[in-house]
Structure 1
């Protein structure tokens, strides 16, 4: 059969008013009707990059309301639209209804012409749905014909057998008539089967041509997008380079987005909605924001915070390390026998490592120490909480491309980072336990704060991914106010262990508590989901006081930036199918809290290290003999000598196993003899019960920097 030629889908564009929420009411949006889809944008300029929503008309219900109103219902969701005049409303109504008819025609019919223009990306889904329905119908016809052919063929066979048995009988004429009738039925059914097969083949061939054109169109679009993205990346790199070379060439802040909405019609928000307050509420706030953003983002990374003593010659830190060798290794061949085991107990070659220890990775938490410097100067504990929250998120920004594991520190291994001259702080870490692996960390800053943490790492290999769960608390205390903050870390997951490109995700919740004022901040790290419309690596949060009143809303991503918006008003509204209450917050213009520094040039060949990470393993005089910089396998790996590094790694791990067995034997002997068991004691940290959390953890006992000043390391064990 020949299908009729289908009309082309309508195309129409124009402004309509769309209902957003109770606070903002109807908002002007640019609507585009094309190929059976009604899409809308905030402005015409957005058509090239940001679609705010799309409504398939084939399954939509369209009706006319009162006073130039249109109601479109699709998939349980209603869209309330309003035109500026009655004629315009009628024109949109007729256009949308005709587009719906045409879209349904595409679903239920197919065009046999192979010379027609190929479908675009938007109507491909309608073509595939129509094709599947048509092919399914034809397949049902084939099944019916097959069943009839079987029945009629069997009946014809029986008639022929009876005709043979009754040869010469008087009933021969009647039997011959029966045979002819059944033969005719069999011929009719066979012809129907042949026709159904021909129709099935025609439909399949017709849609095969369409699918080929659709595939070709998608391939061309993908190639175009890849080319465009490559050009944009080159332009971005050029602009970034120019900005770094001439940071003072631009003095103005772009104010074109001053009146943009913080969140646009968050109709699907689970518990609260935020919108901007009126301009009169935020004038003074915007001025303060502008000043803070300028002071934070106009300088090159870390340069504006170098405040050492005048006349002191500052050390030049290294800005590169040897490129990572291109060694191939079958990860699955090593990991397949490790499913469900603790990775800290599995000997692994350095091929899976980066040339830093876990102690050095822990020290990277203070890369954005200027956030705490700013927080120490805050008069408001709530504003201080916002900066502390941004600092807690910033520690994950270096992990986005860091899928290699750091070296497991040896028991008693230490790492110091002295940045008093540049940034006003110095840090000391020590591995205080081997199984389970645990590290203690202490940072003291001359700029008004002290940070300490005791972290135990629990890592499991699950087959397709590795989960790393840091256990323990992070403490931060500001000297002038005495505000004491406590929080913990989220789970890190490395995906695509078996096949594909490795990638890392952070997920979970962080609850930051100011134990002095009882202010709290709840941060949510959203796990990546293929089906989610949210931006990847999203982080949201809310700052509340002791009474549970919300004061700030935080938003951003853990690999890029964090912003805060001050709440000026809130109200309750019903939302969702279950009629649950939602809180609607009015906020001031968002304020930038933290933004990630760009990676150094050639970072992709240097383990994606940040500018700070490149300096962590730089040789330095006067450090303790147990310092991670002295570790031979790590040093050899950084130099690209991986075979030699693996040999040294095996030697160190074997020495550590022998030392552990020696301590176990001594413990058993002491127990048998009734003597006091000697428990391993770290060199620079001791176990105490925290007064705030009532938990037992390792804290700095002091003495390291004094020993360094004397250069007396006689008490240090020989671990390398």
Structure 2
């Protein structure tokens, strides 16, 4: 980009205080900005935008030159252009991203804290080209996401049903597609209009500053600033013009197509009306011929009495003609059966009995290219990811939620406890037992319909009745309520927040679980921990539970702190380990729990506790508990298998 300087103006004898200088300078500046820039620029191709941008890597290497590609609302980057075919260094979804400008050349793209790109362009003009392209892509991606959310829940008022036999389905869908495309172009025009308004205001402010500028050393900088802002205005105007040109071309092309479709529909309607009229005439002619033939077979006396012309019934007699019903018509007709059925003597043998299956069929093993399906889903929630049905297990999420009651006898025992601290041990063991079936179950339950319910009535053998209902569709949420005849009530509201990180999937259950015991009136609450599914793309799927649970007795103030240790290749502890301490409202420890969330849990009574040495993590002192012999409070039931 070449800029005009003050030197030629001063040699020509102009004075900046003169009233005609500013308009002449503006003419020179606008003439300069109308010429094409000489610096290499990113190349737009349809909805794709590519170019070199400097990306911040770390404090050692600083900004590094990377090849960025903007396509379909996704911004991806590569080290070189050759990597585009096989290796992507990172991708950010612009639908939920925020774009901010730091200074003349720097800008930041952030996606909710999960991903943040600090980028730097070679100049302010190039930075603004990227900002314009990113804002247009963000607006289009947000509209597409909103349309996809609405299409799954609500009925579109513009979609007309196609009546069988009337045709027009393909033309109707073509019209709807054209309307959506035109609507998208209108939104692009609106976005460009906002950008032009913003840049126009900035250019106007710079021109105002230039108009009030006096003869100082800042004159060159101000004129250069006006030139750059005029260039930015030209870039945005070109985008506006291109969008208008695309809109006009689409409107003209589809206008001709719609006129042809309308003319074809009119011609087809005329042909159908003519065909229907011919069929009506043929039907009337055949009906007259049938009546004439029936009368011709009558007796001769009847022929003489009827007189000539009676065989050709007139249209006026059609409404006055009646027919008698058949006398003594049979109620049914018997047909001899196939001889092979004559050997069957018992009536029950005529209806073969269907056998019910005793086990669920094996999961079909289909080869899937998961990376092609999920490469654009990184950072999204689980409810927004189109998962293959092969990943699901043949149950609903409501039924899976009811499986938390498999070890309901822990709550039965807790209801009989005299001590609230001992009762806390059983409640804590129950909160751990709900994860015992997840160690080998990598399938995802099906998402229930809104308002769908699942009832489990086991009052006869176990004394409780459970009812689940799907109370929200976006985001998915379920309500669960259990009433037991053995002195306890359980309820929970559950919704899931999830993130796909590429190699693993994190599932964060939200909501609180409540357990209330009638005899003691103790009210316990706790939450679930994070579930992580590893080896999503490569390797064998496996599940891990990690996090912390605080089981709180709101009646007495007792508390149990449970810790689910995440799996580590370098840890010497047993895998899937769970530890916990039961404390009263004063913080004094009474019981220690230990075990694994997939096998068993034990609890020991604390006799004495003391602070240990400086061997704890992060310099903290470890607490040493002197306990009695451990007692088993829960053990997983053996898995049920069928041959």
Same fold by TM-score greater than 0.5: no
The interval holding the TM-score normalised by the smaller chain is 0.3 to 0.5
Which of structures 1 and 2 has the larger relative contact order (alpha carbons within 8 angstroms, sep 6+)? Answer: 1
TM-score, scaled to structure 1:
0.39
TM-score, scaled to structure 2:
0.43
Larger Rg: 2
